[in-house]
Amino acid sequence: MRARSQVQSILSVAAEDVLGLMLGMGSPDQGSEFSRPPRRVLICPDSFKGSLTAKAAAESISRGIRQVLPKAKVELLPLADGGEGTLETLLPALGGEKRGLWVTGPLGDPVWAEYGVAGERALLEVAQVAGLTLVPPEQRDPTRTTTYGLGELLRAVCRDPIAEIWIALGGSATVDAGAGMAQALGYRLLDGAGDPIGWGGGELARLARIEPPKQRIWQGKRIRGLCDVQNALTGPLGAAAVFAPQKGATPQQVRQLEQALQQWARVVERDLGRAVEGIPGAGAAGGLGAGLVAFLGATLESGIQLLAQHLALPERLRRCDLVVTGEGRLDEQSSMGKVVGAVLEQAMVAQKPLLILCGQATPAARADLAARPLPIRVAALCDRIPDVAEAQRQAGYHLEQMAAWELKKFLARDPIPT
C-alpha cells in the first residue's frame, strides 16, 4: 500500500509538471520563482439536462480533476444560459433571496414556483412555471400547454417595489408566444365571434383581436428577457419548426403551430403595433420572447452574456491556467447563446486551454472546435458508455471518472477526437 501511495504521488507531481510545460509556465528545473506557480483550474459547466444540475456537474468534475491534480486550486463556477438553473446560479451572486407561490402550471394544474428578489430586482424562471419537466412525457403537447402561470407570477412580483424584472426563458413546455401570460395579465385574446380563445399554442390560430387591459401593473418597470437561443419566431428556424418537436409536437402539430404563430404575429402587429416575427430571440421558449416584447415592451438579450458579466466570468477565466466546461449535448447550437460557446469565446480571448466534457457531441461540433486556434479537448460520455440510461442513472460518477481520464490525456497533448 505504501509503495502504491508513493507511485500515485509521483504520478500526480509528474502530471502537474506536464501541465506546467503545456501552459508555458516553465520547467521545475529553471529555478525561477514562477517555475512552479499554483495550478489554477476553473470549472464552469452548464447543467446536463435530465441528469445533473450545473452545480452537481461542477462538483463531479472537480472530484475528477483533483484525482489528477491534487495540489491544484480548483474554482467552481456553475453557469446557466438563461434557461433552467438560471435562478439557482445567478441569485447568490446578486445577494438575493428566494420566494415562492402557487401558480397555474403548463397543464392547468397548480405548481409551486420559486423566484428571486435582490433589492429592486426580481429574477423569474419560466421553467419554474411552464417547464418541460413539469409535464409527464406522455402528456407533452405544445398545442395546449400554457404560460398562464407566468402571468400570475408577474402579477405577484409587480405588487412589490420592484424596478426591474429579469425573466429566464429556457426550458419551457409551451409554444403559445406568451398568450397565456397575457391572459393572466388582463389581455383579452378574442376569436372572430368576440369570444376569448382558450389556452395553448393551437388556439392562436383562432385569434382575431387583442384588447389590452386598462390597468398595466408592469408599467414603469424594466423587463428583460434572458434568451438561451437567437431564433426568430417563425420560419424554418422558428419556435415551431425547431423547438416544438422537443416538446412533444408531431409533424402535423408543428405545421399547425407555425400557422398559429404567424396568425398571432399578424394580429399583434395590427392591434399592438409591434412587428416581432424577425426579432432575434423571439422564438425563445416557444415564442415567449416575442410575447414579452409584444405584451410587456420587454427587451431581449443573451442570458449567458448577462450571467457572465454578473459572475465575473472573464476576470475569473483570466486568473486560471486551465478551463473545464460542459453540457448535456454539444452541437451546433452550443456556440449560439449557450454556456459552452460563451466560455469558448472567453477562453480564446485569454488564450486558455479548454477541456469540454459533455453527454453527447455531434461530429459537426467536434470539427468546429478542432479548427479553433486554441488547445481544446472534447470528450463525451456516450463514447465511453453507450447505454444512455446507465450514463444518466450514474451521471455524477461517470462524469467524475471521465474528467480524470480526459485530463490525463489532455496533459499528454492528445489531439481532439473526431
Which CATH number characterizes residue 224's domain? 3.90.1510.10
The answer to whether the beta carbons of residues 41 and 64 sit under 8 Å apart is: no
- 295 and 195 within one domain: yes
**Which amino acid is residue 301, in one-letter code?**
E
> Residue 127: pLDDT band by 50, 70, 90 thresholds?
very high
The answer to whether the beta carbons of residues 204 and 226 sit under 8 Å apart is: no
Of the three residues 258, 288, 305, the one that is the final residue of a domain is 305
The answer to whether the beta carbons of residues 100 and 208 sit under 8 Å apart is: no
**Angle between helical axes of 251-272 and 284-296 (0-180°, round to 10):** 10
**Burial of 338: CB neighbours in 10 Å, binned 0-12, 13-18, 19+:** buried
pLDDT at residue 24 tops 60: no
Does 2 map to a domain? no
**pLDDT tens digits for range 46-103:** 999 878 999 999 999 999 999 999 999 999 999 999 888 899 999 998 999 999 999 9
**Burial of 35: CB neighbours in 10 Å, binned 0-12, 13-18, 19+:** middle
pLDDT at residue 27 tops 50: no
pLDDT at residue 356 tops 90: yes
pLDDT at residue 7 tops 80: no
Vertex 385 angle, CA 379 and 389, to 5°: 120
Average pLDDT score, the chain:
89
pLDDT at 242: 95
CA distance 276 to 289: 9
> Residue 316: pLDDT band by 50, 70, 90 thresholds?
very high
Number of H helices, E strands in the chain: 15, 13
- 280 and 145 within one domain: yes
Nearest to 395 by CA among 376, 378, 382: 382
Cell numbers that stand for 46 in this block: 452548464
Vertex 334 angle, CA 178 and 93, to 5°: 70
Does 64 map to a domain? yes
The answer to whether the beta carbons of residues 285 and 236 sit under 8 Å apart is: no
102-111, 151-160, 297-306, 409-418: the lowest-pLDDT one = 409-418
- 196 and 66 within one domain: no
Does 329 map to a domain? yes
Question: Residue 126 phi/psi, 5° resolution?
Answer: -60, -35
pLDDT at 413: 65
- 348 and 263 within one domain: no
> Residue 333: pLDDT band by 50, 70, 90 thresholds?
confident
Quote the domain boundaries for residue 195.
86-305
CA distance 395 to 381: 9
- 136 and 238 within one domain: yes
Answering whether pTM is above 0.75, one says: yes
Of the three residues 258, 279, 305, the one that is the final residue of a domain is 305
Could you tell me how far CA 339 lies from the centroid of its own chain? 7
The answer to whether the beta carbons of residues 303 and 168 sit under 8 Å apart is: yes
Cell numbers that stand for 252 in this block: 402535423
CA distance 258 to 132: 20
- 320 and 203 within one domain: no
